[in-house]
A and B are shown apart, each in its own frame.
Chain A
Amino acid sequence: MKSKNHKLEENELTVKSRTENLSAIRNFVSAGALEIGIPLKIVENIILAVDEACTNIIKHAYKYFPEGEIIVKLKFSREKFTVIIIDHGVPFEPETIPDPDLQTYYRQHRVGGLGMYLMKSLMDEVKYVSVPGKYNQVLLSKNLLTTH
């Protein structure tokens, strides 16, 4: 891994809360993660988790309001790669999201909560922090020393 050449660095992208910006967010995270030498397979999992988090923000925090801001920050050390996603919409309460059940989805013709499940499955840590009236933050982390 090339990360030994890097100390703790940071990188940032700000986009409007629109689904058309999901590809820009994925490209940004993917470029940053590949640059420090994270293997492609792991990068693919990270960008899917980030996509799910941002899709949730667009749908639920901003309720499709297209002028909200989404800030994506990358932080990495030798041990850990973290994507921090910040919004100023309605706070998200992850504990209200039930675990996914395919039979329920089948009956309801929808898949709410699947994104959350993917995030938890694909990342080592998913953490939500909300400061009401100020901002919401989700941290998605991948341990780099344990990954192959």
Chain B
Amino acid sequence: MAEFNASTKDLGEVSVIYLQGYLDAHTAPSLENTFSNLIEKGKYCTVVNFTELAYISSAGLGVFMAFIEKMRENNGDIKLSSMSDKVYNIFDLLGFPLLYEIYKTEDEAVNKFIESKNLEK
């Protein structure tokens, strides 16, 4: 049963992960692999698009917590975008908006990375 899927799009400096379906303790390892693969390739600027994510439990939230520092230590970040109200409410309940940048659209999140890279140059 394909209850969860994470696919990646390479935009050069920025990578976008598209989540689909149900992210729980069973499917979280699949997303961990996606993040590990990006880190292996030296890709530290990640936008996670939540448009098609139907459900998230704390095991799913844990994946973002597991990788955020690694990304930031390497001058990158995990920025989140396009959450349904239902998913956002869970992030909000746990105070995640204090730790993560959350944007309405994928484009906004990607552009934030590009702006900050331009400032560095």
Residues on A close to B: CB < 8 A? 18-20, 22-23, 26, 41, 44, 48, 51-52, 55, 58-59, 100, 102, 105-106, 109-111, 114-115, 117-118, 121
Q: Is the CB of B65 within 8 A of A23?
A: no
A41 nearest CB neighbor, chain B only: B86
| Contacts A/B (CB < 8 Å), 25 sampled | A19-B26, A22-B24, A22-B26, A23-B26, A41-B86, A48-B57, A51-B24, A51-B25, A52-B57, A55-B24, A55-B58, A100-B94, A102-B94, A102-B95, A102-B98, A109-B66, A109-B67, A110-B62, A111-B58, A111-B61, A114-B62, A114-B94, A115-B57, A118-B93, A121-B93
A102 nearest CB neighbor, chain B only: B95
Interface of B: prevailing SS: helix
Which residues of A lie under 8 Å from residue B39 when comparing CB positions?
none
Q: Is the CB of A19 within 8 A of B65?
A: no
C-alpha gap A55/B61 in the complex (Å) = 14
Q: Is the CB of A55 within 8 A of B25?
A: yes
Beyond known contacts A100-B94, A110-B62, A118-B58: 17 more, CB 8 A cutoff = A22-B25, A23-B3, A51-B24, A51-B25, A55-B57, A55-B59, A58-B25, A105-B65, A106-B99, A109-B66, A110-B65, A114-B58, A114-B61, A114-B62, A115-B59, A118-B57, A118-B93
C-alpha gap A22/B67 in the complex (Å) = 24
C-alpha gap A18/B3 in the complex (Å) = 15
Q: Does chain A have a CB within 8 A of B38?
A: no
